[in-house]
Amino acid sequence: MSEKYTIVQHEKRLFWLQNCPVLLHSYALTKNNTNNSIFLQCKFENIADNPIKAMNIAVKCSDVSHQELANVDNFPYLDINVQPYTLFGDKTPVALPNNTTRNVRIIPLKVIFSDDTTWENTSERAYELAEYEQQPISSLGELADQYKRDLHKICTDSEKHNYLPANVNGFTVCGCGKVVLPDTQYCASCGVDFSKLFAINNSEILHTEQQQYDEEQQKIALQEQQDKLQKETQQLQYRKKLRKIISIISCIVLVIIIGTVAGTTYSRYRQEQEAIRQEQEALEKTQAAVEQITNVESDDAQISSDIEDKVITFTISGAGINAKDMPKTLSDLSEQDLQYLWNNDTSHLDYAIDSWLGLKDSYINLQGSIMDKYVELGGSDAYSIHTVCNSDDNIKIFEFDGNSLIYDYWEEMERYRDFSSIELLAALITSRGK
């Protein structure tokens, strides 16, 4: 699906008119693809000190070959209340009489301020492209740094300035790039006082200030050098005295340190060696106990082990059960299976539950036997036991943390014991039918 609107022209350059309190920042011609109409949108800026409550413009229209077409003689922007140095107008479409319009000249006719004063364009001159060239600060050459120092004294946002200020076509252009009316005292962007800004752009004054600055820097450098030399002399004398004192004290302290350190070091060494020995003995006992337990192999189960971060994980497998073949809960059964259980003897369901609980009891007994055997064989108390019971298809069905069962594959099976099987199945089937 095609877009409803198409921008056929978009001018983003700045336009102005001498003494006009409103700048034209950009404009766009847009085509309504639904009815092929053309409308204009303008983005203006109020650069006066008073709010604007209304503005009238005219639009001279022409086609792609600049042949004149029907114009817009007077279009009002009403009830706008635009504060100083605020953009406006870009949300207001200006309908153009001819849908072949591709070029426009925009004429500010009248600006009405909130205090009812007005500005009028009696000659009906159109906005002109703001073409001007500002000299960069670097054009001052060796005086550029001095200009920046003076600028920093009068402007808190001096880093915004890359150019020298200029008066062009009845407007003042700040070094930060802001365009204002010529009688404006302060820049609306960086806040600089224009009278002071133009005053510092004086090559003779800058040259004199540069010489004074260089002389001051030389004096500062000389004073710093003298201070450094004096400080080094004082430090040298101090170090000579200090060496004599240190040589005397060192002999006394050395004797004390040798006796103290020797005793302390030996005592710490004995403690560390004893801790290592105890840890090694505990590890050897633990490993011996684990090896005996994991060597158990029978038709019922096989046991493997892993030790990490002082936790022994025993894995029990080979229980003769495939977990994938068992539903986790009755709610996982299909409606067909539920209907079968409803319509037939549910005794085999009770049998399945009994079988599962029997399997659970067997694993709990086996896990308890492992813990008892571990303690019996002298395993260290510093190593805790974690037991995982897997089915033949390697799905975890039980997990123990010490003596605590923390995971049960068919965890809801015991809860089903608290209900009548018939009532439970009836409830499940009823809920499935909703």
Give the contacts of 261 (CB within 8 A, at least 6 positions apart): none
Is residue 47 over pLDDT 70? yes
Q: How far apart are CA 24 and CA 106, in angstroms?
A: 9
Which residues lie across from 88 on neighbouring strands?
44
Lowest mean pLDDT among 67-81, 129-143, 145-159, 367-381: 367-381
In this prediction, residue 229 has a pLDDT band, given cuts at 50, 70 and 90, of: confident
In this prediction, residue 202 has a pLDDT band, given cuts at 50, 70 and 90, of: very high
Q: How far apart are CA 55 and CA 85, in angstroms?
A: 15
Is residue 381 over pLDDT 80? no
Q: Which residue has the higher pLDDT, 187 or 391?
A: 187
Which pLDDT belongs to residue 191?
95
* Arithmetic mean of pLDDT, 348-361: 69
Give the contacts of 210 (CB within 8 A, at least 6 positions apart): 142, 143, 145, 146
In this prediction, residue 100 has a pLDDT band, given cuts at 50, 70 and 90, of: very high
Q: How far apart are CA 66 and CA 369, in angstroms?
A: 100
In this prediction, residue 49 has a pLDDT band, given cuts at 50, 70 and 90, of: very high
Which pLDDT belongs to residue 433?
59
In this prediction, residue 253 has a pLDDT band, given cuts at 50, 70 and 90, of: low
In this prediction, residue 1 has a pLDDT band, given cuts at 50, 70 and 90, of: very low
Instruction: Name the nearest CA neighbour of 407 among 354, 363, 375, 342.
Output: 363
Q: Give the number of other CB atoms < 10 A from CB of residue 75.
A: 18
Residue 211's φ and ψ, nearest 5 degrees, are -65, -45
> With b meaning 16 or more CB within 10 Å and e meaning fewer, what string describes 252-270?
eeeeeeeeeeeeeeeeeee
Residue range 2-28, pLDDT digits in tens: 689 999 999 999 999 999 999 999 999
Q: How far apart are CA 344 and CA 337, in angstroms?
A: 11
pLDDT over 90, % of the chain: 50
Which pLDDT belongs to residue 127?
97
In this prediction, residue 308 has a pLDDT band, given cuts at 50, 70 and 90, of: confident
- Position of tokens 């019922």? 300
Q: Are 203 and 143 in contact (CB under 8 A)?
A: yes
Is residue 421 over pLDDT 80? no
Residue 409's φ and ψ, nearest 5 degrees, are -55, -45
Q: Are 35 and 5 in contact (CB under 8 A)?
A: no
Which pLDDT belongs to residue 104?
97
Q: Which residue has the higher pLDDT, 379 or 196?
A: 196
Is residue 304 over pLDDT 50? yes
Which pLDDT belongs to residue 80?
95
* Arithmetic mean of pLDDT, 58-72: 96
Which pLDDT belongs to residue 248?
65
Q: Are 102 and 37 in contact (CB under 8 A)?
A: no
Lowest mean pLDDT among 33-37, 291-295, 311-315, 332-336: 332-336
Q: Does this model's pTM top 0.75? A: no
* Arithmetic mean of pLDDT, 65-91: 96
Q: How far apart are CA 230 and CA 226, in angstroms?
A: 6
Residue range 112-159, pLDDT digits in tens: 999 999 999 999 999 999 999 899 999 999 999 999 999 999 999 999
